[in-house]
Amino acid sequence: MIRDCIVCGIRNQAIRQKLLAEGDSLTLEIPFHQETDSVEAGMDDEDTVFLHAIERDSGNDEALVPLKLKNQLLVSFKIDTGAQANVIPKNVFIKLDPKPNLLPTNQRLTSYCGARIPVIATCDLVCSHKQHPKGSQKFYVVDSASTPIEEDRSSIDLNLIKLVLNINSEQTSIVDEFKSVFEGIGRLEGKCNIHLKVGSVPTVQSAKRVRESLKDKLQKELSRMEKDGIIKKVTEPTEWVNSMVMIEKKNGFIRLCIDPVVLYKCIKRPYYPIPTLEDVTAKLHGATIFSKMDARSGYLSLVLSKTESEMATFSTIYGRYRFLRIPFGLFSAQDEFQRRMEEAFEGLEGVAIIIDDILVYGSNQEEHDRRL
């Protein structure tokens, strides 16, 4: 046991037992967290850390930056300003020598759509960029072969990104002139269909428990979403009833999703090509002026038909509701949203779209403003 400790550098016995020596490498055998039916629907920041993304179909469209870990290992990290945690996969961790101490954690990583990401442990690593170490950063070691992630605050500390807080009078006038565009939740024309695989069997899941401290927030969020036309109260029988996932973000607001585990397996994905950064940059030759916009609550601008809405019924301690818009948690939403956004902006010059990010560009101020 002492020899194992010297070899792997891991002091925690419970975690060390999850690692097996295979020649010169280590294999992380099992995730630190196991899913059970007793998981609570409400989880605060002490339990859950929110990630914008953890896996992509292709690595070509990721903003990758080489960072040095422990002043020895050069690793390509994805800069993700939507993430709230630094992440390294197990295949990166096993390359560190000597290995940092792994610390057990009760926190869960949750993706943008509400899916759980298996966490093994956490560790502290000195991370540097261009010979400028910025001290120790906390990393989550995940049981996945995904791209390493550097979250927003850590990216700012390493001078990888900068905050631009000023807004000039011309930009303000544009916002004032088209005020309605910047208010509320948008709506793309047409209804969305969810296609099920042959042999799919509807399931009914009971409402998950919610901690007493979060019940009031949940009730208010359900009321807000119902008022905004995002969800609707259900009293009639429905074949599908999904579990609800409630995520409390650092700003105190909560996000409601449907648990994607069951419905994921039944949905046919309508594959649609997502542009890469290379696709976009190829269009930017000669451009000097840019505006970047974000579609607010993007997926919620997709309206579900009645049948599909009933499939998106979910259970809460306050009864059943069904989504009238595409909810977070459906893996088909990304493809459908990209297709519909491209259709909506078809024929416009100087516009590039990747999911809910819209880039308007021009060779000079006049051309840019006209396109904007």
pLDDT digits (tens, 9 = 90+) for 262-276: 887 888 888 888 888
**DSSP line for 195-235:** PBPTT----B-PPPP--HHHHHHHHHHHHHHHHTTSEEEE-
Measured at the CA of 211, the angle between CA 121 and CA 86, to 5 degrees, comes to 25
Residue with token string 């905050």: 163
User: Tens of pLDDT along 81-103?
Assistant: 777 889 999 999 989 988 888 99
Summarize the confidence of residues 119-137 as an average pLDDT. Answer: 83
d(CA 89, CA 250): 24
Q: Which residue has the higher pLDDT, 226 or 44?
A: 226
Q: What is the pTM of this model?
A: 0.55
SS3 content of the chain, % helix, strand, coil (to 5): 25, 30, 45
* Residue 166: predicted pLDDT: 55
d(CA 150, CA 129): 12
d(CA 161, CA 79): 9
